Structures are given as C-alpha cells and as structure tokens.
Amino acid sequence: MSSDEIPTLNRAQREACERLDGALLVVAGAGTGKTRVIEERTARLLERGVAPERVLLMTFTRKAAAEMLERAALRHPLARRVDGGTFHHVAFRIVARNFRALGLSGPPTVIDTDDAANAVAAAIQRLGLQRDRRRRLPRKGALQAAFSRATNLRAPLADVVARDLPDFADEVETLQRVRRAWSEYKLERGYVDYDDVLVMAAKLLGLPEVRDRVAAAWSHVLVDEYQDVNAWQADIATALAAPHGNLMVVGDPKQSIYGFRGARHEKIVGFADDVPGAAVVHLTDNYRSTQAILDVANAVMAQMASRIDRPLRAAARPGGERPRLTVVEDERAVADLVADALQERLGDPGALGGHAVLVRNAYLSVPLQGELLRRKIPFAVFGGLRFTEAAHVKDVLAGLRILHNGFDELAWLRLLQLLDGVGETTAARWFADFSDPDALAATGDGGPLARARRRGEQVASGKTRAGLQELIAALDRAERAVSVAESYDQLLAWYLPVLSRRHPHEPYRQQDLAFFRVVVERYADLGALLADLALDPETTRQAVHAGAPDAAEGLRPVTISTIHSAKGLEWDHVVLVGVDDRTLPSPWAVRRAARDGDEGELEEEKRLLYVAVTRARERLDVVHALFGRQGLQRLSRFLEDPGVQATLDVATSARATFADEGGATLERGGLLAALAGDEDG
C-alpha cells in the first residue's frame, strides 16, 4: 500500500482508525488504503497504552503481517512487537500449547500436502485396500484433495465425491473408511496437516475454559483479507475476540480468490449480521492507481454477477497512460517482448524492482524465466512450486525431521528408500523394527535412532548393510552437532553423493541446498525451523537465487508471481501474461459452468483478473500470445468484453502472424478477426 502517498486520512479511513473498541467491518476496495488503516489503528491502540503483545494481527501470509508492522513502527516504535502471524501460525501455537486437551502425547508435527497424501496411502495400505483389484481407488493426491475440500467447506464427503470424483460416487463408504483410517494414522503418529491445524484450534476454542484462557492473551484482534477466510478461520477469529468483542476485520469481497480452498466470501458480506452491533466502514477512494487503470478494473467489475459496487475512483492519480493490450505470436514472443521492456530499465538502478509479471498458472512463466536468465536480468519468483516441495530439499529435511522426532515414519521411509537396494517393503520393515515400542522398552534404547544404531548390522544384509550404516552414522553425527546448521552440514555431507548419483546432470539442486543453508542458519531451535518451513513456505521460496547471480549488485529484481501470490502487493508497472481463454478463466471453471450450471468458479476467475489489474500503479500491459500449446488461442472472454476493450489500447506486434490452413499469412486485421472469432483450436 502506498501509504506514503496519502497525505492525510480521509473521512472513512479516520472513522475506521478511531473506532478502537467493539466489532468493526472495513470493506476496502483495491488500493483504498486499508493497510494504512490497520497500521494507523495499531499505532493508536499503542498510544492509548495497550501493550503491543496484547494486539493480535492475523493475515494469510506472514510477510504481509511483518511488512504492515514494520510500517506501523514508523508511527509508533512498539508496533514491531505486536503479535502477528498467519491463521495457521496462530492456530498451530494454540494446538501445540494445548496438545493434552486434544489427547495427544506431545506437540504435533506439521506435514505438508504431499505428506498428507502419503499418509492417505499409508492408511489405504493399513486397510488392505490396495490389493483389492475389483475396487480401484482414486490416487492418493486426489483423495487427499477431496478430504481437504470436505473439511474446508464443512461439507459431507459424499457431496465432494459426487462433484470431484464422480467415478467413485458408489464407493463413498469405502472412501469414508479411508478418511477415518487416515485421521487415525495421523493422530497416532502425531502429524497434523494444514486442515487439522485449523480444525483442532477451532475445536479447542470451542471449549469455553480453553477459549477463555487462550483468548486472554490479547485485548484486540485484527484480521486482514477477511474475504478469504474459510469457516474454521472465521470461527477462530470470532472465538479469540469473544471475551472482549474487539474484532476488526478488513477485506474486499471482489478480491476473494481462494474459493478452491474453502474461502467463504459470504463471511465478510454477512459479518455485520453474524456479529451484532458491528460497525461498518466502506473505503472507496483509490490512492494506488491511475484512473486509466481503474477504468479497466471497473470494466472487469461490471462483468461480475453480484455485488457491483460503485466504480473505483482515482483519488490521487487522475488520468494516466491507457493500458495496452499487445498481441504477439507465441510464448516465445511474449518472453522477448517482456524481456526487451525490462532490459531498457537495466541502466536505471532500482527501476527493475518496480516491475512485476503476473500469471494465472505458475508454469506460464517458465519461458520468460529462461529468457531473463539468458539476459542476466535478475528476477524473483513467487507462487508455484515452493522450495521445500523440491525432492532434494525434502530429502535433507527428512533427516532433520528424524532428529527432531525419531518416530517420524514418513521421514524415515523417505530417507531409507534413498539407499541402493531398498524399496518400500524393506524401508517399512526396518522402520517397524527401529520403532518397535516393546523392543525399545526392553532394551532401553532411547528411541528409533538409538535402536537403528544398534540394529543396523542385523536388519540389513549384503549390499544394503553398508548403505544403512552410512546413513545412520550421518544421522548420528548430525544428532551430536552443536547447532542446527551443523546438523544440516552433516546430513548434506551424506546426501550430496546420493544426489549426484540420482541427478547427475542437475547441478541446480546442489545450489538449492547451499542456498537453503542460509535459511537453516537463522534457527537455533530445530522444532521452530521445521514448523516454520511447513507453515510458512513464503519466507523460503525459490527466490532470487533463480535470477542471474552475476547481475549488477544492488538491483532489486523483477517480480514474477502468480496472481494469487500477488494479492495485497503493488508495482508501478504490471505486465499480465497468459490471458488466453483456456488459461483465464481456467477450463475447470468453464466446464463447471457449462455442465453443472455453477457459475461460482467463473466468477472467481473474474475476481482474479480484477486482482491482477488493480496491482498496477502507473502502467499496465496485457500481452496475449496467439499461439499456445494447443494451437490458436482466443483472448480471454473477460478481456474481449466491449466494456474492457473500450479501456485498452490494442496493439499487434508486426511479428504476430500466422498461417491458416491454406498457408496464407494474415496480419493485423486478420489477427484481430481471429481474436474475435469463435474457432478455438
């Protein structure tokens, strides 16, 4: 938020800042200074004498919270100490401190989606279902997704299965059994996935005595991006504020883009009804963008089926350059065009950081990344595959997880299977031996690692023996290490040869692991590191290292981001690429609308475009490639809309030509005709 550009608070902002007590809903359009309001209101609470630790600020990414508090600190020095974090962080703290009330024997381990799916596979195996050839099951990932969706929407599994896994509609009872076995498996092993964290916290807060004890820590609760909360998160927020009623939520229903994750933008629309006595403030003056950019946003908004608000009005930047829609030949040409534009800014230190390239799907930026690498233009990537999801990072993390919790089965299985000659069965058998509770009690081994150290010789035979012993020796050295970083080094010393054997031609993996050490170094406590990595991949993204390492120093990199990850951010110049009708809207949303008559997802895709457009301050470029992976592609229906077209300057690159069936080449006029045509393949 460009708070520095708002000279004074306007009337609505002032009202929102001054209402320090009670329930308050702030409906803030894009760029209307809601962040400024949160900062200012926080400062006023501190001025009034509220201790910073008593203020809780919840958002969806920790970075957003940290930046907000950093800026608030300019107004009040104590703001940096305000208690802030993501919903998942706060929920995890609550769960970890109250694990006994949940019947757990210790604080749980957070697992990511991938391991949650692995746990589904383990549950299926335990039920003996995988041997049954007559009844096939969905893949583990599809099952995990269905279970997650049911949890997030608080919907019956049957509904989700009917919608997402229609082939298995007759098997709902079996799937239900898998879901129960899966939950039991996770509970037994002390694993919590992202959904469990929220559900457990909400359940705990449903116990009045726990709620009052936990909630007593804070006197004021502030929630940003409330349009993206799901039912569990809304419950957590209201429970934490229940004792005092000081709950401020801020959001914009038109920017709700997490419906797939169970976000319920009705929660913000209905907030005033759910919370009696809540005051409502609307922020409508936009301080971020030029009017020319807002004209595009307004034209997109006009296509929305519901809640057509008053158009955004540029309060600080009237006029402005008209956004441009450029049509080029293909992906390659898109990458060239963008790279050309960025290269011009290379001579202008600091300017590069003012640019962002936004995409609907993470993989769409791959050709551009290649081109920027080639030209040594530094960039940072947000969204898509996260660093900790890369196989090589997960391998080393598995070692750290074992040090943290010797009973971490998924981590053991992962590491053991890296050994030559060891597959699923052997790994499972070894782990069963190492973790056998009776044997552990009988022999006095402290845990699986200690037992593995003694048993290594006996369980393994022949060629696998040496491999197992090397692994155990490495874990042993890592365990004795005096710091987390040293443990990491010990594991790495063992792992790097394994890595070069498995991926001999991918040196980037080693670079990743070297880069990752910088993250590891920051932690003195292994448990904190692992919890943060699972809950907050944001801070450990595959980031600048992807850019040219030998680029001139001090250049702030260009941002490449998914639209989702760009939420809440802004840049002087935004380039939106991948705007064909098979990308934005996504084919799933289109299919859902055509088949089930459910326009909900299509509406969300419109909001996605709205979010993308409103990230730009001064200049907006939309680049469309005529040819994609599936041949000729039409421009997004949302951009073809006459209202939107009227706000854009349309340009066609001279290179954008294509051959029709007869081999003739069309240019300009022909291209535009093709854009408007209804043939899409």
Partner DNA sequence: TACATGAGGCTTTTT
Partner DNA sequence: GCCTCATGTA
Nearest Cα residue to 634 out of 668, 680, 588: 680
Q: Which one, 80 or 135, has the nearer CB to DNA? A: 135
Residues 186, 17 contacting (CB under 8 angstroms): no
Candidates 563, 663, 646, 535; CA nearest to 300 is 646
With CB under 7 A as the contact rule, the residue among 31, 87, 234, 530 that binds DNA is 87
Cβ–Cβ < 8 Å for 186, 192: yes
Cβ partners under 8 Å of residue 256, min gap 6: 227, 228, 263, 265, 268, 604, 607
Q: Judged by CB, which is closer to DNA: 38, or 165? A: 165
The conformation of residue 292, written as its DSSP 8-state character, comes to: H
Contact between residue 359 and residue 579 where contact means Cβ atoms under 8 Å apart: no
- Phi then psi for residue 131, to 5 deg, are -85, -15
**Which x/- pattern over 214-253 shows residues binding DNA (rule: CB under 7 A)?**
----------------------------------------
Residue whose CB is less far from DNA, 46 or 117: 117
Contact string (CB under 7 A) for DNA, positions 376-415, x = contact: ------xxx-x-----------------------------
Q: Which residue from 192, 403, 535, 558 is in contact with DNA, where contact means CB under 7 A?
A: 535
CB of 346 to DNA, least distance (A): 27
165 is a contact residue toward DNA (CB under 7 A): yes
Question: Residue 661 interacts with DNA (CB under 7 A)?
Answer: no
The span from the CA of 377 to the CA of 371, in Å, is: 9
- Interface residue with DNA, options 461, 552, 588, 667 (CB under 7 A): 588
Which residues, numbered 542-581, are part of the site for DNA (CB under 7 A)? 562, 564-565
Which residues 6+ apart lie within 8 Å of 473 measured at CB? 494
Is there binding between residue 586 and DNA (CB under 7 A)? yes
Q: Is 155 helix (H, G, I), strand (E, B) or coil?
A: coil
Contact 514, 434 (CB under 8 A): no
Which residue, 278 or 544, is less far from DNA as judged by CB? Answer: 544
Which backbone phi and psi does 360 adopt, to 5 degrees?
Answer: -70, -45
Contacting residue, 139, 154, 310, 501, with DNA by CB under 7 A = 139
Contacts for 406 with CB less than 8 Å, ≥ 6 apart: 435, 447, 448, 449, 450
Q: Which is nearer to DNA, 107 or 311 (CB)?
A: 107
Kindly indicate which of the ranges 33-41, 132-140, 649-657, 664-672 contains the residues binding DNA, using the contact rule CB under 7 A. Answer: 132-140
**Alpha-helical runs (H) found in 481-619:** 484-502, 508-521, 526-535, 563-566, 587-596, 600-613
**Measured from the CB atom, is 10 or 125 closer to DNA?**
125
Confirm or reject binding of residue 154 to DNA (CB under 7 A). no
Shortest reach from residue 541's CB to DNA, in Å: 8
State the minimum distance, in angstroms, from the CB of residue 358 to DNA.
11
Interface residue with DNA among 121, 241, 403, 602 (CB under 7 A) is 121
Q: Min. distance of Cβ 366 from DNA in angstroms?
A: 11
8 Å CB contact between 561 and 357:
yes
In this complex, which beta carbon is closest to DNA, that of residue 262 or of residue 323? 262
H-type alpha helices, 481-507 = 484-502
Distance (Å, whole) CA 428 – CA 409: 9
Ramachandran sector of residue 135 (left: φ over 0; alpha: ψ -120 to 50; beta: rest): beta
Q: Which pair of structure tokens corresponds to residue 464?
A: 């696998």
Which of positions 15-54 make contact with DNA (CB under 7 A)? Answer: none
**How far is Cα 133 from Cα 150, in angstroms, rounded to an integer?**
27
The one among 147, 185, 191, 194 contacting DNA by CB under 7 A: 194
Cβ pair 256, 568 in contact under 8 A? no
Q: Please select the residue that binds DNA; options are 35, 86, 255, 559, rule is CB under 7 A.
A: 86
454 binds DNA (CB under 7 A): no
Q: Would you count residue 458 as binding DNA (CB under 7 A)? A: no
User: CB–CB of 226/251 below 8 Å?
Assistant: yes
Rounded to whole angstroms, how far apart are CA atoms 31 and 617? 9
Among 77, 130, 170, 552, indicate the residue that binds DNA (CB under 7 A): 130
Closest approach, Cβ 257 to DNA, in A, equals 7
Position among 13, 61, 298, 647 found at the interface with DNA (CB under 7 A)? 61
Asked whether position 537 contacts DNA by CB under 7 A, the answer is yes
- Going by C-alpha positions, the residue among 91, 83, 24, 95 that lies closest to residue 57 is 83
- Nearest to DNA of 40, 195 (CB atom): 195
Using the minimum distance from each CB to DNA, give the nearer residue, 76 or 179. Answer: 179
Q: How far is the CB of 4 from DNA (least distance, A)?
A: 26
Q: Would you say 307 or 501 has its CB closer to DNA? A: 501
Give 130 or 443: the residue with its C-beta nearer to DNA: 130
Q: Is 141 exposed, middle or buried (0-12, 13-18, 19+ CB in 10 A)?
A: middle
Quick one: 212 or 363, whose CB is closer to DNA? 363
461 binds DNA (CB under 7 A): no
Can residue 258 be called a binding residue for DNA (CB under 7 A)? yes
x/- contact string, 410-439, with DNA (CB under 7 A)? ----------xxxxxxxx-x----------
Query: Does 261 contact DNA by CB under 7 A?
Result: yes
C-beta separation of 88 from 197 below 8 A: yes
Q: Which residues bind DNA (CB under 7 A)?
A: 60-61, 86-89, 112-113, 121, 130, 133, 136-142, 145, 165, 167, 194-195, 257-258, 260-261, 360-363, 382-384, 386, 420-427, 429, 535-538, 562, 564-565, 586, 588-589
